[in-house]
Chain A
Amino acid sequence: MITSLQVLFLAVAAVTLFSALMVVTTRKIMHAAMWLVLTLLGVAILFALLESRFFVVVQVIVYIGAIAILIIFAVMLTRRVMQETNHRSTKTGGLPRLLRCFFLCWSVLQ
């Protein structure tokens, strides 16, 4: 029997992992920074589910309030941030990237 708290945890964890994945796969660097904000917020909610209020607040202050804003600020100052064309140096197709993600997850879970 899954409690409602566990459902909530699974949902938040899924969103956090998905946005973390988007941080490293999205093409636009600004969007990556924004996905990072969502990831950090997800971690804060995970802390909230563990009922540690201090960690929630510190996570939001330090990571979202300071680090994420600093990163976004720095990204905004880079060249051609407004443009769509933001090619990575390594151009690979969908399958190798998927495999890489799979091995990354696998190695983390080991």
Chain B
Amino acid sequence: MGFFTDPINFLSGLLSDLLLGWGLSANLTQLVLFIIGAGLLATLPMFFTLVLIWSERKILGRIADRIGPNRVGPWGVIQPFADMIKIFTKELITPAGVDKVPYQLAPILSIAGVLLLWAVIPFGVSVLGVNLNVGILYLIAVGGFGTLGFLFAGWGSNNKYALLGAFRAIAQLISYEIPLAVSLLIPVMFTGSLGMNDIVAGQSIWFIFLSPLGALIFFIASIAEIGRSPFDLLEADSELVSGFNIEYSGLKFGMFYVADFLHAFTISMIFSTLFLGGWRGPFVEQVPLLGFVYLFAKTAVVWFIGIWIRGSMPRFRIDQMLNFNWKVLIPLSMTLVTCTALIDKLLPGSFWIRVPVLFALNIVLFLAAERLMRIGSKKKTRPVVAERPITVENTGITEAVPTRSIGEIG
């Protein structure tokens, strides 16, 4: 095991030998290593966010036919550092009448909800924070902290617009957590384990091929969870002034900002872990370092598709957003889980039967859902003014107000 093939385990082995050589007990050495690992795992993603912000702005700029940040450093790579230093120097304003503890706790909770996710993501065969045997449940549980952060921010700010923004955010987050959690069950059923590393190890064929529809549902729900376009009603920048976080300034706003950008990347990483085989790839057994490369490459692809959608899709209306979740995604994901469970159990274990049948099942369910959505959307034309009789007082004649449909206006 050399430095170049497996640096993390090499360094941790070196460090633990050193500490044991100094006469520390085995338990204490373990504790020190855990603390260093947790510190690194919590700090490095924050710095990585700087790269993320730069590349996201650059890609969004290209999509909008601009060049994006280009003044500070070559291709503007130092721009996020400049932004970071600017945000450090800004004044932290605490508005009058805020509820102190929730107000201060909210940015911390919202970024903790993202960073805690990194604890269970496997980066290699043996490189992961904790090999938690309930990793999937942990992912859902930690998501609750982010929600709590939004609630505290909205309520603690003593501002009714922040409160309304928080309501909007929570309505979206809580609703989309359901299809997210249900579609998480699909990899769990295929591997028979809730541990993240077991799920990666079980993907001799990527689960996106066994369940493309499950992957799609997870992807849509995850975009809604991170509040990106087309689900960005949380802080629709153009028509509402931000949302739950309007009373925050300086570094506290920066924490929400970093949490937002990092969450997008983290959830892409979870997607590639669950559906795209995580760190799996050729020669990964010999050179564990390649696991990082594979995972980050897959994550980058998923993350790029997310930005692509963000840059090119219009925003949902809030009723469309909720309808889409409760009337399409949740029934579809429930049906998918039920059908997958039944068919996967009934089928013989042979590879060449199992994969095509499950793939076909997903396609059929997708087409059926698409068909049903089309029929549903054809039926309703939403009238702007409801037809109602008005009575003219003198004559008693009743006449109808002409009905206009949305299409005529827009």
A69 at the B interface (CB under 8 A): yes
Binds A, one of B129-137, B244-252, B258-266, B316-324: B129-137
Q: Which listed residue (B99, B137, B158, B163) contacts A61, Cβ 8 A?
A: B137
B114 at the A interface (CB under 8 A): no
Give chain B interface residues in 139-182, CB to chain A under 8 Å. Answer: 140-145, 147-148, 151-152, 155, 158, 163, 167, 170, 174, 177
The interface on chain B, measured as residues whose beta carbon lies within 8 A of the other chain's beta carbons, has a size of 25
Contact B144 A60 (CB under 8 A): yes
Contact A60 B141 (CB under 8 A): yes
Contact A65 B138 (CB under 8 A): no
Contact A76 B144 (CB under 8 A): no
Contact A65 B167 (CB under 8 A): no
Closest residue on chain B to residue A70 by CB atoms: B174
The interface on chain A, measured as residues whose beta carbon lies within 8 A of the other chain's beta carbons, has a size of 19
Q: Which residues of chain A have C-beta atoms less than 8 A from B134's C-beta?
A: 53-54, 57
Contact string against A for B residues 184-208, beta-carbon threshold 8 Å, 1 for contact and 0 otherwise: 0000000000000000000000000
A101 at the B interface (CB under 8 A): no
Mostly, the A contact residues are helix
A37 at the B interface (CB under 8 A): yes
Q: Which residues of chain B have C-beta atoms less than 8 A from A65's C-beta?
A: 140-141, 143-144, 147, 177
Contact B148 A64 (CB under 8 A): yes
Closest chain B CB from A109 CB (angstroms): 30
Q: Which residues of chain A have C-beta atoms less than 8 A from B155's C-beta?
A: 30, 72, 76
A34 at the B interface (CB under 8 A): yes
Closest chain A CB from B255 CB (angstroms): 20
User: Can you report 12 A-B residue pairs in the complex whose CB atoms are below 8 A from each other?
Assistant: A31-B99, A34-B152, A54-B137, A60-B141, A61-B140, A65-B140, A65-B143, A66-B144, A69-B174, A72-B151, A76-B151, A76-B167
